Structure 1
């Protein structure tokens, strides 16, 4: 997730985008393994409909977090949209939300029974944390976090029934039972902290480890889960990834599709050797990508247009899986 954190940082981000557009070679259309991109949905930025995170349901629909609107929406494969839930708005508009100055819905997890867990940063001790939404039910905060936290990427360790939560402003990975309760700090330190803008951001559990991006540091980290459940030291697996936001693993391999928000690109990252290549750019319809989801040979990219003056959207593209390394 990337947001305009302060006026000076927004200016710097916009300048960075402008510099990229002036110095980079003209972008080609989608390159392997992506092909035939198209915009599935366009959103109303003024209404806060800035898509932030996504999960794909078993029947191929998308559950999408609309960040500033604090809503969760269902998007059908043909683009039809249905509102699933709205989180309560803070009375002050979230002016005390750390780094932002406005409330923001962020990470998303869906369990097999259709229950959703949504991260919410509000600058309010009574609202900030993880909210649970049962099918047809009302949102309920089940994991409280302090007003100084900015919960962001989130994933479920299905072996233990625990959620891992990236706190972007405090540089902490929290852990809590999915049933709810007070979280504990599972990992913290310099590797997770923001050097500017946001620190730990996207997060996934994969092959016995927590993988997390540090957006400010431009790095993808692997944090092994020890047999006793504690965190081993963080292992940098790829660097030089400008504002890496959310990401998704390609099948059972360690290869990652990642959203490079400020660069307005999607990259295929190979943690085996730390290399990466660009597979989608603004020329393909990206508008500041924040998250990705991969189902079969279909890749979905959410662009929240936090920095770019453009319409937020969801892009869909064919994704060739022949390179999937087991």
Structure 2
């Protein structure tokens, strides 16, 4: 991508996200158990390095997607960044990508053998879908998704070997085996639909259910996974969180740390649905997009979509509570 294209892409992202920010309420700040908060890695906005999603590999390396760079990068425990792969550019430059008008790398997850799975939206039928990155091999698309959609969140059910993909434009959750193939529309529940910008977003598996955020509606949903991989009825677990992006479970019941993009905060969502801010701009956040945990180590990506300053990876520690 040329420098001119990157500037145009960044402007498009900022304009879209700024529209959301104007209508997004803030969340009250509360005392929370995070220590050692620091910005561990700074990324280069001029090169399209707006980090969108993260998965933490067994050795502590963070695999991240760069939204506007069409890239997957590895960030080592000491902060060094290495590009793992660059996905092919669409022939038309991605101008027909829904909502944003540029090719977008989004959700990411991995399996224990080191295989990385990434979502890519281009507005073209030949590239949009689920991509697999195996060590030492070129990226390969293993499942096609609708070109008029925007695949965003990606979650792996390690027990069944199924992947779940949220589509923020079509308001759909797709499912496909890790081996790839033709995706199945798993849920099209109304609570997944957008309300002006982007709907179903972040996705995680926990307790026999797929948990999904809706960015526009500010909700965290729990969708039971029934026998035969059927979707149950979604249940709203938390609301009033407009701008909620991706999230992670802390390991303390159903407690969640979630990124609220436009409000520029990370919030703790308790099992009763109440929430409070644990990180904000004073900690170095620049439009946080996703959260990951490895033990008590917390990783937060910031894409700088509206701040246009210092996209980064923030690290912190989740203090033990007795």
Same-fold call, TM cutoff 0.5? yes
**Aligned counterpart, 1:319:** 318
Mapped to 2, the partners of 1:106 and 1:71 lie a distance apart of 10
Instruction: Give the conservation status (yes or no) of the 8 Å contact 1:175–1:183.
Output: yes
**Aligned counterpart, 2:296:** 297
Q: What is the SS of the residue equivalent to 2:191?
A: helix
Question: Given the alignment of the two structures, is residue 259 of structure 1 paired with residue 242 of structure 2, yes or no?
Answer: no
**Aligned counterpart, 1:307:** 306
Question: Given the alignment of the two structures, is residue 216 of structure 1 paired with residue 219 of structure 2, yes or no?
Answer: no
Q: What is the SS of the residue equivalent to 1:191?
A: helix
Q: CA RMSD in A?
A: 2.0
How far is the alpha carbon of 1:15 from its aligned partner? 3.8
**Aligned counterpart, 2:4:** none
**Aligned counterpart, 1:231:** 231
How far is the alpha carbon of 1:309 from its aligned partner? 2.2
Pairing of 1:95-244 with structure 2 (within 5 A): 95-244=95-244
How far is the alpha carbon of 1:16 from its aligned partner? 5.0
Question: Given the alignment of the two structures, is residue 273 of structure 1 paired with residue 272 of structure 2, yes or no?
Answer: yes
- Structure 2: state its 5+ residue gaps: 1-9
Mapped to 2, the partners of 1:241 and 1:321 lie a distance apart of 26
How far is the alpha carbon of 1:162 from its aligned partner? 0.9
Mapped to 2, the partners of 1:276 and 1:85 lie a distance apart of 37
Mapped to 1, the partners of 2:12 and 2:220 lie a distance apart of 21
Instruction: Give the conservation status (yes or no) of the 8 Å contact 1:65–1:73.
Output: yes
- Structure 1: state its 5+ residue gaps: none
How far is the alpha carbon of 1:321 from its aligned partner? 3.3
Mapped to 2, the partners of 1:6 and 1:78 lie a distance apart of 29
Instruction: Give the conservation status (yes or no) of the 8 Å contact 1:4–1:100.
Output: no
How far is the alpha carbon of 1:11 from its aligned partner? 4.3
Deviations 1:197-255 (A, max 9, x none): 11000001111000000110000000001123211100000000121100000115210
How far is the alpha carbon of 1:9 from its aligned partner? 4.3
Mapped to 2, the partners of 1:247 and 1:8 lie a distance apart of 24
Mapped to 2, the partners of 1:189 and 1:4 lie a distance apart of 32
Instruction: Give the conservation status (yes or no) of the 8 Å contact 1:4–1:10.
Output: no
Q: What is the SS of the residue equivalent to 2:226?
A: coil
How far is the alpha carbon of 1:106 from its aligned partner? 0.3
How far is the alpha carbon of 1:273 from its aligned partner? 1.3
Deviations 1:1-46 (A, max 9, x none): xx987887444335458x96xxx99x79xx4211231111111112
Normalised by the length of structure 2, the TM-score is 0.92
Deviations 1:138-164 (A, max 9, x none): 000001012111111111112221110
Mapped to 1, the partners of 2:319 and 2:184 lie a distance apart of 39
